[in-house]
Amino acid sequence: MTRTGLLMPLLILPGLVQAPAAQAAAPQSPVPQSATAADREIGFPGFNAYPLKGSVKAGGAHPYFAVMVAGSGPTDRDWSNPLIGLPSHGGRDLADWLQAQGIGSLRYDKRFIGSRNPKLDISLDAQVGDVKGALRAARALPEAKGKKLLLVGHSEGALLSLLAAGEADAALLLAMPGLSMGKLILAQVKAQLVAAQAPAEATAQNMAYLEAALDAIRKNQDLATDTTGIAPGIVALASGLARPESRGFVRDLLDLDPWGAAQRLPIPCAIAWGDRDVQTWKPDVMPEDFKGAVIQIPGANHLFKRETRVKAGLSGAEAMSTYGDSTPLADLTPLAAWLKGLK
């Protein structure tokens, strides 16, 4: 079953103007594939007892055990996504990094991974319920015995984690959307149009179409059928968001205020972004009453892997060239420092 991810950037905008030549990614030395043999495979019940599958990695002396929630789209427990177009297992890499900090973890496939059931419940309630199910399963694991639970959500998974974090003991929200999903989608697409050097008139026309499409989804109405002059990539994005099987999930998430939810968290919380992330990014202005930690990782992309290119003008397709397994994680020392301080 194919699901369209809300946070996957618009990779190609055909029908506008010729994009500038791609910036060359810095050569990367191949890195060894993570040793997944040490993982223990488990199954556990999610929302309404739906069976979920996951991988457990043992930790060390750290007092916390992590439950990892993947980002948007057809992203599995290892954060591998066919839309990326190259082998990419950022979640598995992060689980290895957490293990090096003494933290074990449970990461799991979202309920629609591998499913061909068009009637499968993928509502916001169901997906948040799955996060809560993963937390319950983690508390019963021998690897987590005597430990507190750290909920680690990435991108869209950070939003799901926000809604389930009351059942954890701490939260680490990676690449959390700093805007509501509706506003972020518009900001992502506009940035891609700018990177493609689209004329102002074409940009305005495409943005107006997308705004109208999001409004139609909010009202559960059909999308406009006249797409003359609209980039095929934007038409495809709107159509994917409006699919009947996932429209309810999209509608419920479009206007969710992430900061309102974050400010209400009764547990220790850190929110982290990579400073080269073209999908989600640290807001220019932070809410004054947010009590959690705010961390920005230099030279990190959306998957917190190393990105040496300048962010300005970096298209979605170009950015994803460093999402693969051959690109190492960025220097996550600031995250390690926050984790070390968790009690």
Q: What is the pLDDT of residue 11?
A: 34
Q: For residue 109, count other CB atoms closer than 10 A to its CB.
A: 18
Residue range 185-207: mean pLDDT, rounded: 91
| pLDDT of 285 | 86
| pLDDT value of residue 6 | 44
How far, in Å, CA of 176 to CA of 259, rounded? 10
Provide the percentage of residues in the chain whose pLDDT is more than 90. 76
Residue count of the chain? 343
Each domain of the chain, given as residue ranges in start order, spans: 36-180+256-341, 182-249
Average pLDDT of the chain, as a whole number: 89
pLDDT of residue 197: 87
Superfamily of domain 36-180+256-341: Alpha/Beta hydrolase fold, catalytic domain (3.40.50.1820)
Q: What is the dihedral of CA 152, 292, 256, 196, to 10 degrees?
A: -80
Question: In the predicted model, what is the mean pLDDT of residues 266-294?
Answer: 93
What pLDDT score does 192 carry?
Answer: 85
Dist CA 300 CA 97 (whole Å)? 15
pLDDT band at 215 (very low <50, low <70, confident <90, very high): very high
Q: How confident is the model at residue 287 (pLDDT cuts 50, 70, 90)?
A: confident
pLDDT of 146 > 50? The answer is yes
With contact defined as beta carbons under 8 Å apart, do 297 and 331 qualify? yes
Q: H/E element holding 139?
A: helix 124-139
pLDDT attached to residue 23: 42
| 102 confidence band (pLDDT: 50, 70, 90) | very high
Q: 212, 211, 218: which is closest to 252 by C-alpha?
A: 218
- Tens digit of each residue's pLDDT (9 = 90 or more) over 302-328: 999 999 999 987 888 899 999 999 999
**Strands of 40-45's sheet, edge to edge?**
40-45, 51-57, 104-108, 64-69, 148-154, 170-174, 269-274, 293-297
pLDDT at 173 over 60: yes
pTM comes to: 0.86
User: What span, in angstroms and rounded, lies between the C-alpha atoms of 195 and 197?
Assistant: 5
Q: What is the pLDDT of residues 245-261, one digit of tens each?
A: 889 999 999 999 999 99
| Nearest-10 Cα torsion for 279, 284, 286, 288 | -170
Evaluate if residue 338 carries a pLDDT over 60.
yes
